[in-house]
Structure 1
Amino acid sequence: MSDLMSEGITIVEDLYKNREPVPEMKAIYFMAPTAKCVDALINDFKLKPKYRAAYVFFTDYCPDDIFDKMKKNCGKHIKVCKEINISFLPLEAQVFTCDNPEAFKKIYTPNSRDKDQTLEMIADQIVTLCATLEEYPGVRYKKDSDLNYGKKLAELVDNKLARHYDLDDNSKKKGKTQAQLLIVDRAMDPVSPILHELTYQAMAYDLIPIKDNTYEYKLKDGSKKEALLNEEDQLWVKLRHMHIAEVTGQIPKLVKEISASRGEKKQTDEKISVGALSQLMKKMPGFRKQMAQKTVHLCLAEDLMSHYQTNVEKLCKAEQDLAIGADAEGQKVKDPMRTLLPVLLHPHDTTDKIRAVLLYIFSLNGGYFSFLVMQRFGNI
């Protein structure tokens, strides 16, 4: 928000909520090119205009019928109308999402009426990503998929890319770039989303109630604090894709490095605790921000390890045996039910038991049937 304010933007509001009119100010509308968004825009200028003027920026190509409706009803109030290619949500430097959690259900549920519409929407979003990166990639997909959704999406993306890059600004056709876009069908691997992942970020979001990327933790004095886990946290960026065993080894080393740089004499084999970090912070005012960041991740790592040792460790062993069909010594699991029963009899969380049951079904049947079962548990 501070970045927006530095550019002269004083308030950010939800398009769908009731807003107080500010007739002396201009409004920037950053929205998807949908009928719902355009109707909200039209309502703002229908009777008495809420703002002095509208500057409209669509996240994607605006269909002609929606554009014509907007032009007819509030065109005289619009000073700028542009389409920008950003119909996707970047989560990390190299990770994005289409932000459509219902897509799995809509595409794979039998007799769904939204399959084609959902595939079209995802294809449009992928094209805007490619356009943002200035890439015209070759599109590849897994050919032997039973359901052919990968093929359908690949064809849609390829056709939409061709239309988008038909002519560039210099009136010359843009050729294919060296990039390759791989479209993979979830039916290819239904097992991975069910397993408990043991990398730092995946464990945090699986085991800890993190909402809006905010982690709440307690200090030794009982006080509660919140930390935002995002790209601004350099330690989070460095550790998030490491195995938890690596993380628990990395954090104390980083703390000791800072301690050593300030002349603090600590034994190298001493276990770093939250209390010790608190004392270090009092002695090193210039390093408080860095130390606070490391306190967050020490707390988070300890929290995750507590969950792991209490509950997840035994679950992971059973899950791996069911997923691979062999135990840690490489011996084949002859009776998967003997692996599943201890999980069901233990007072594990219901969701964890369902995950184990799914893995058991996959181990017995495999292939297409397993994926049909997974469709019924799309929200897990």
Structure 2
Amino acid sequence: MDVLVATQQYISEMVRLAGPGMKVLLMDKETTSIISCAFSQSEMMQKEIYLFERIDTGSIREPIKFLKCVCFLRPTQENLLLLQEELRNPRYAQYYIYFSNIIPKADVKMLAEADEQETVREVHEYYADFIPIASHLGSLGHSLCYENPFNMSTPIFRRSIQALVASFLSLRKRPVIRFQKTSRDAQRMANELKTIIAREDALFEGCKSDTLLLIVDRSQDPITPLLNQWTYEAMVHELMGINNNRVFIENAPNDAQRNLVLSAQHDDFYANNMYLNFGEIGQNIKTLMSEYQRKAQMHQQLESINDMKKFVEQYPQFKKISGTVTKHVQVVGEMSRIVADQNLMRISEVEQTIVHNGEHNECLDLIKQLIQHPKTSEMNALRLVMLYALRFENHSSNSLQILISQLRQRGISARNTATIRTLLDYGGMKRRQNDLFGNQSAMGMTKRFIKGLKGVENVFTQHEPYVSQLIDHAAKGKLSDTNFPSSDYAQPSTRYENIILFMIGGLTYEESAVANAYNQKRAQNPGLPRILLMSNYVHNTRSFIDQLLNLTGTSTPSPVGQSA
């Protein structure tokens, strides 16, 4: 159940069917992201794709009549109209058209009528309608999900349905669907998916029923997107942002160093270190540097023809290591600068204290001190108060209004501080059906107590996302039938070989690391299910707060300091 491999196989098949010879790849905005995460540009060129174009730039594309055109498009009305126009006035010799999802027969007929010059050779549905960020992680690339009052916007709802249907068909699965009972959107999605699967029964013929789809809402865990991260991939995204495997470093001296590619497919160091913590990364980069220096010294000693021959043979590998060293030293160096400049180690320690086991007055004093600290950025000050608001929402000595006043004194705008109220309306106790902090039930309090006695290996990574509990319960067939009902008549407590978890409102790379770790356990325990995470976006704190900002003013706020 590997969405990255499934997407790569589809793309390779598209190009193969077009036959030998030079080809142009015609995409839309979304399929461009899909392909860029599946293959590098050099890999596509090895498949004889020599030109990459967007269908929405038709007016500026020059005709190249000797090229074949491989079209990979989403079957949207906009794309269909653009494709009709393209076929009426073809710029290329032949067209091989592949849609990323189900397309109605009426639309295919409309394209056939537009193909007056008979340039179309193939039309197929290939179900790659999501961005394959990793083998276990798919995204839609849309950061803003909700509209008033915290319901999914209609376009994102439709897009999510399409992506899930495509994932089922690409993986050949006909899942049992369970959903979070308190989420209207989750229930709507479950019902809509059930209807589509029944309607497209012929497409799902032969698909295995060994998979559970679990649909939940981000509001059940608003904590995870607000925390600073300390594993490599999650930390890069938190501090700099990762967009379809690309990282932008604002302070770099030139464009080549400013725009970097971090891809586990093409970078062995990144693949081996992306889930390790910051301290381990430093040690591993030092080892990588030592290896590079050793090989560099060997290459300096060219005293014979044989030495020169060996150098030429090893040069590609040497150049690759050189590029890897340069890139990761630059990334880690920039992260180290940000950590020091923003006092993030201290801030993160306080964050973990708040959400894990901190006492109210202790947490309140620590937050007050950090709000006033000159190195604390506005976003970090805001996130600390947000965490306090969630953790001590019903505390008898709740002092949220005092903290908000401190934020205002720092110059943080009224609109930004209003997001704290929005957050409580979005993910406060009235919206959550879970014991997020482990302090509402005897079981939760016991687990926290035992964990406290055992201690933690790393104070900065002791937080455990709610997704971890969901995966564990689903894998053991112990999901609550009341809280997570089924959309069909299957036994809800059944155990499955695969679990697809769709998170409405965005996932995080911390949760991706949880899913990856669980999948790695299957090597020792094949009885465990495979995990696939999907969502509309992969958030860091900034994008999550931006989503709250987008909602601020559209919801009816609860009084600050009271239950939301």
The reply to whether TM is greater than 0.5 is: yes
Stretch deviating more after TM superposition (285-294 or 25-34): 285-294
Letter in 1 for 2:335: L
Pick closer, same or farther for the CA change 1:254–1:165 going to 2, 3 Å: farther
**Structure 2 matches for 1:305-344, cutoff 5 A?**
305-311=336-342, 312-324=344-356, 326-327=357-358, 332-334=359-361, 336-344=363-371
Equivalent positions of 1:178-257 (< 5 A) are 178-208=210-240, 213-214=246-247, 227-230=260-263, 231-253=265-287, 255=289
SS at structure 2 position matched to 1:180: strand
Which residue does the alignment assign to 1:133?
171
RMSD over aligned Cα atoms: 3.4
Q: Hey, what's the Cα distance between the residues in 2 that align with 1:81 and 1:360?
A: 55
Deviation of 1:253 (Å): 4.1
3-state SS, counterpart of residue 123 of structure 1: helix
Q: Partner residue of 1:376?
A: 548
Matched letter for residue 343 of structure 1: L
- Structure 2: distance between partners of 1:56 and 1:155: 31
- Which residue among 123, 127, 133 is the counterpart of 1:81? 123
Instruction: Tell me the distance in 2 between the aligned counterparts of 1:43 and 1:318.
Output: 58
Cα deviation digits, residues 252-303 of structure 1 (max 9, x gap): 34555x4xxxxxxxxxxxxxxxxxx5x4453133445335424433443343
Distance 1:313 1:152, change over 3 A: same
Dislocated runs of 4+, deviation >6 Å: none
The aligned counterpart of 1:266 is none
Aligned mates of 1:282, 1:226 — CA distance in 2: 26
CA gap of 1:240–1:99, structure 2 versus 1, over 3 A, is same
Partner residue of 1:110?
Answer: 149
Partner of 2:187: 151
1:162-181 mapped onto 2 (5 Å cutoff): 162-166=198-202, 173-174=205-206, 176-181=208-213
Tell me which amino acid in the other structure corresponds to 2:81: D
Match of 1:267 in 2: none
Q: Indicate conservation of the 8 Å contact 1:139/1:181, yes or no.
A: yes
* Count of paired positions: 342
Once the 2 structures are TM-superposed, how far is the Cα of residue 60 of structure 1 from its aligned partner?
0.6
CA distance, structure 2, for counterparts of residue 175 and residue 207 of structure 1: 41
1:113-168, CA deviations, whole angstroms, 9 ceiling, x for partnerless residues?
Answer: x734432321221121121122222222233x2x3222222332333334444456
Identify the match of residue 49 of structure 2 among 2, 6, 9.
Answer: 9
Deviations 1:35-75 (A, max 9, x none): 111111122244x4323332211111113454343333336
In structure 2, the partner of 1:283 is 297
SS at match of 1:139: strand
Distance 2:258 2:384 in 1: 34
Q: Comparing 69-78 with 238-247, which one deviates more in the overlay?
A: 69-78
**Are the counterparts in 2 of residues 29 and 57 from structure 1 also a CA contact under 8 Å?**
yes
Shift of 1:216: 5.4
- Judged with a 3 Å threshold, the aligned counterparts in structure 2 of structure 1 residues 353 and 59 are, in CA distance, closer, same or farther, namely same
Select 1:97's aligned residue among 102, 120, 139.
139
* Equivalent runs, 1:27-106 vs 2, <5 Å: 27-46=69-88, 48-74=89-115, 76-102=118-144, 104-106=145-147
Instruction: Name the amino acid aligned to 1:142.
Output: Q
TM-score where L is the length of structure 2 = 0.54
State the 1:29 CA deviation. Answer: 1.5
Q: Match of 2:227, SS? A: coil
Partner in structure 2 of residue 346 of structure 1:
373
Which moved further from structure 2: 223-232 or 180-189? Answer: 223-232
1:336/1:363 contact within 8 Å kept: no
- Return the alpha-carbon distance in structure 1 between the equivalents of residues 294 and 248 of structure 2: 23
| Mapped partners of 2:87, 2:258: distance in 1 | 43
Q: Using the alignment, how far apart are the partners of 2:97 and 2:365 within structure 1?
A: 61
**Matches of 2:339 and 2:95, distance apart in 1:** 53
Alpha-carbon distance in 1 for matches of 2:150, 2:427: 16
**Structure 1 position 185, deviation (Å):** 1.2
Distance 2:136 2:194 in 1: 22
Rounded Cα–Cα distance in structure 1 between residues aligned with 2:333 and 2:230: 14
User: Structure 2 unaligned runs (5+)?
Assistant: 1-40, 300-313, 395-422, 432-544, 553-564
Take 1:334 and 1:111, find their aligned partners in 2: how far apart are those partners? 32
TM-superposed CA distance for 1:189, in Å, is: 0.3
Contact 2:176–2:212 at 8 Å: present in 1 too? Answer: yes
User: Which letter does structure 2 place at the counterpart of 1:81?
Assistant: V
Q: CA–CA distance in 2 between the matches of 1:79 and 1:314? A: 61
- The answer to which structure, 1 or 2, has the higher relative contact order (CA under 8 A, 6+ apart) is 2
**Secondary structure of the residue that 2:61 maps to in structure 1?**
coil
Amino acid corresponding to residue 352 of structure 2 in structure 1: Q
- Match of 2:549, SS state, is coil
Work out the CA distance in 2 between the residues paired with 1:139 and 1:119: 16
Q: Aligned letter for 2:361?
A: K
Residues 57 and 111 of structure 1: CA distance in aligned 2, closer, same or farther (over 3 Å): same
Work out whether residues 218 and 225 of structure 1, in 8 Å CA contact, stay in contact via their aligned partners in 2.
yes
Q: Distance in 2 between matches of 1:54 and 1:69?
A: 16
Identity of aligned residues (%): 20
Q: 1:232 is paired with a residue of what secondary structure?
A: coil
Cα distance in 1, alignment partners of residues 219 and 241 from structure 2: 29
Whether the aligned pair in 2 keeps the contact of 1:15 and 1:37 (CA below 8 Å) is: yes
Q: Which amino acid counterpart does residue 196 of structure 1 have in structure 2?
A: N
Post-superposition shift, 1:195? 0.8
